[in-house]
């Protein structure tokens, strides 16, 4: 019924020929129109799970594989088992909760996001997506809704990269962009040398569940997320369908100079790695303005540690963001020239890597359309400024995202906020999008 050829076609990132046909339908399928969401329970779970956090007034600090992440994962496991899930943890700690459909030969439709947060982050970035998915499963059960395709709810590991670099620590493996070994070897941003693999093992979250799309294919991936910008707020809309993303490059540069006495060594002839790094940071700010993009330095580590050393080694991690490919590439060329110039001026050596290079692009139109129809007149089209686990799954299968209005575009901050009614609307759109896609799958199978 659901042929391998069709699956392959559905799961090709080039399957854009569906656009025209899916755009013909302008609303959710009938079953989706009846769906309701228990907004109180959703809201309560968001704030209940916020307790699994290091002290973080008003917000959440739940770093990948820390003791609070373990508590949140344990809670998630209990919830999905209570709902009758077939539950697995994979080698990089991602939690998969599968629920049967009418035809279990069809790859499941996935809802996924992450329960980890950044340090001093908010209550919504990540958890809103997972908990919305949980609420959709609960609502389907309560309202007797059975999809044709099975469903899977995924809590992806280390989306944020807040503790271990690089981010999207498990979804990159799933999408074939990294390996289990590489993910396990991800180093802590604090320079302490601890790895994600060891820390996941410590909390008991290295499992035997599926690691790659090829092992465990999914028909589609949908994700609810706070917008982290102000398009919805300005338009007065609670939700949005996410059409695509801006381009993002992460660079890591390590400047190496020479040791010297901080008080006595002459200014002339110094090879001060930190002074070089500071000039780079200042130039990054200028670059953002000059190119109408965004730039942020996200990590600096410098040594030797001490009170009386010229700094001989300084690592800087920074990201460049631009809505257009040309703009992003242009910024990259400029900043590499800056690094070369700084190194030449200060007598520094440097090592430069670009661990992330994500060109701006669009999500799969058939998935976006399912979200768009689910939003109806409560939503607008928007774009995300950052990467999500969905940015990885879209390499393998139709992927769409639901945005929920946030306050003032503030995110990765304790002040991050979305109203209860908006969160409820986001979960409702997620559920409707899944039902729309389930119907779309049936339509494709019928055509095949």
Q: Which of residues 376-415 bind a second copy (CB under 8 A)?
A: 384-387, 409-415
Residue whose CB is less far from a second copy, 157 or 436: 157
How would you class 342 by CB atoms within 10 Å of its CB: exposed for 0-12, middle for 13-18, buried for 19 or more? buried
Dihedral sign, Cα of residue 348, residue 349, residue 354, residue 359: positive
Regarding 319 and contact with a second copy (CB under 8 A), the answer is: yes
Residue whose CB is less far from a second copy, 151 or 321: 321
Regarding 264 and contact with a second copy (CB under 8 A), the answer is: yes
- Report, in Å, the least distance between residue 414 CB and a second copy: 7
The one among 187, 300, 336, 395 contacting a second copy by CB under 8 A: 300
Provide DSSP, 300-359.
EEEES-SSSB---EEEEEEEEEESSHHHHHHHHHHHHHHHHHHHHHHT-EEEEEEEEEE-
The one among 14, 289, 344, 377 contacting a second copy by CB under 8 A: 289
Residue whose CB is less far from a second copy, 87 or 245: 245
- Report, in Å, the least distance between residue 280 CB and a second copy: 8
- Report, in Å, the least distance between residue 24 CB and a second copy: 33
The one among 84, 176, 204, 304 contacting a second copy by CB under 8 A: 304
Regarding 31 and contact with a second copy (CB under 8 A), the answer is: no
Contacting range for a second copy; rule: CB under 8 A; set: 98-106, 173-181, 263-271, 330-338:
263-271
Rounded to 5 degrees, φ, ψ at 193 are 90, -5
The one among 95, 132, 155, 228 contacting a second copy by CB under 8 A: 228
Contacting range for a second copy; rule: CB under 8 A; set: 40-48, 70-78, 102-110, 302-310:
302-310
- Report, in Å, the least distance between residue 409 CB and a second copy: 7
- Report, in Å, the least distance between residue 216 CB and a second copy: 26
- Report, in Å, the least distance between residue 294 CB and a second copy: 6
- Tokens describing residue 217: 């294919």
- Report, in Å, the least distance between residue 433 CB and a second copy: 22
User: What part of residues 159-198 is at the interface with a second copy (CB under 8 A)?
Assistant: 160-163, 165-167, 188-190
Regarding 308 and contact with a second copy (CB under 8 A), the answer is: yes
Residue whose CB is less far from a second copy, 161 or 327: 161
User: What part of residues 126-165 is at the interface with a second copy (CB under 8 A)?
Assistant: 160-163, 165
Helix, coil or strand: residue 394: coil
Do residues 114 and 393 make contact, with C-beta atoms less than 8 angstroms apart? Answer: no
Cα(5)–Cα(106) distance, rounded to whole angstroms? 13
The one among 121, 127, 197, 431 contacting a second copy by CB under 8 A: 121
Regarding 434 and contact with a second copy (CB under 8 A), the answer is: no
The one among 265, 338, 381, 407 contacting a second copy by CB under 8 A: 265
How would you class 150 by CB atoms within 10 Å of its CB: exposed for 0-12, middle for 13-18, buried for 19 or more? buried
Residue whose CB is less far from a second copy, 135 or 227: 227
Residue whose CB is less far from a second copy, 119 or 180: 119
Q: Which residue in 363, 398, 362, 443 sits closest to 12, CA to CA?
A: 398
Do residues 232 and 425 make contact, with C-beta atoms less than 8 angstroms apart? Answer: no
Regarding 278 and contact with a second copy (CB under 8 A), the answer is: yes
Cα(191)–Cα(246) distance, rounded to whole angstroms? 29
List Cβ<8 Å contacts ≥24 apart for 284-287: 284/318, 284/335, 287/320, 287/331, 287/334, 287/335, 287/338
- Tokens describing residue 406: 């946030």
Residue whose CB is less far from a second copy, 201 or 297: 297
- Strand 313-322 versus strand 220-226 pairing type: unpaired
Burial profile 241-273: b = 16 or more Cβ within 10 angstroms, e = fewer: bbbbbbbbbbbbbbbbbbebeeeebeeeebbbb
- Strand 239-245 versus strand 379-384 pairing type: parallel
Rounded to 5 degrees, φ, ψ at 39 are -65, -35
- Report, in Å, the least distance between residue 435 CB and a second copy: 29
> For residue 324, how many other CB atoms are within 10 A of its CB?
15
The one among 95, 172, 275, 436 contacting a second copy by CB under 8 A: 275
């Amino acid at each position: 019924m659901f042929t391998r050829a069709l699956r392959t076609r559905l799961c090709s990132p080039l399957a854009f020929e569906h656009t025209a046909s899916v755009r013909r339908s302008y609303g959710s399928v009938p079953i989706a129109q009846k769906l309701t969401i228990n907004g109180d329970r959703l809201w309560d779970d968001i704030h209940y799970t916020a307790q699994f956090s290091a002290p973080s007034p008003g917000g959440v600090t739940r770093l990948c594989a820390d003791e609070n992440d373990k508590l949140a994962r344990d809670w998630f496991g209990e919830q999905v088992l209570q709902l009758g899930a077939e539950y697995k943890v994979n080698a990089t700690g991602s939690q998969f909760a599968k629920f049967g459909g009418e035809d279990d030969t069809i790859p499941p439709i996935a809802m996924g996001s992450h329960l980890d947060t950044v340090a001093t982050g908010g209550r919504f970035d990540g958890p809103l997506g997972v908990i919305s998915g949980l609420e959709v499963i609960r609502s389907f059960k309560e309202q007797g809704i059975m999809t044709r395709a099975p469903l899977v709810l995924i809590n992806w590991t280390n989306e944020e990269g807040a503790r271990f670099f690089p981010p999207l620590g498990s979804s990159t493996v799933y999408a074939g962009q990294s390996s289990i070994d590489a993910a396990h070897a991800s180093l802590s941003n604090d320079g302490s040398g601890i790895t994600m693999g060891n820390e996941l093992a410590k909390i008991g979250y290295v499992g035997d569940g599926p690691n790659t799309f090829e092992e465990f294919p999914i028909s589609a991936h949908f994700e609810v997320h706070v917008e982290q910008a102000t398009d919805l707020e300005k338009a007065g809309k609670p939700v949005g369908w996410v059409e695509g993303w801006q381009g993002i490059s992460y660079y890591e540069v390590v400047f190496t100079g020479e040791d010297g006495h901080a008080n006595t060594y002459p200014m002339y002839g110094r090879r001060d790695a930190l002074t070089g790094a500071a000039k780079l940071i200042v130039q990054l700010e200028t670059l953002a303005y000059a190119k109408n993009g965004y730039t942020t330095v996200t990590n600096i580590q410098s040594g030797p540690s001490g009170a009386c050393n010229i700094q001989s080694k300084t690592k800087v991690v920074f990201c460049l963001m631009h809505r257009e490919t040309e703009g992003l590439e242009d910024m990259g060329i400029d900043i590499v020239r800056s690094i070369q110039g700084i190194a030449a001026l200060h007598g520094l050596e440097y090592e430069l890597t670009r661990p992330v290079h994500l060109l701006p692009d669009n999500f799969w139109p058939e998935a976006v359309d399912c979200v768009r129809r689910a939003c109806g007149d409560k939503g607008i089209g928007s774009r995300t400024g950052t990467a999500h686990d969905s940015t990885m799954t879209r390499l393998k299968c139709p992927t769409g995202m639901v945005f929920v209005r946030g306050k003032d575009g503030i995110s990765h901050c304790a002040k991050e906020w979305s109203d209860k009614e908006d969160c409820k609307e986001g979960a409702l759109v997620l559920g409707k999008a899944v039902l729309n896609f389930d119907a779309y799958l049936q339509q494709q199978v019928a055509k095949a």
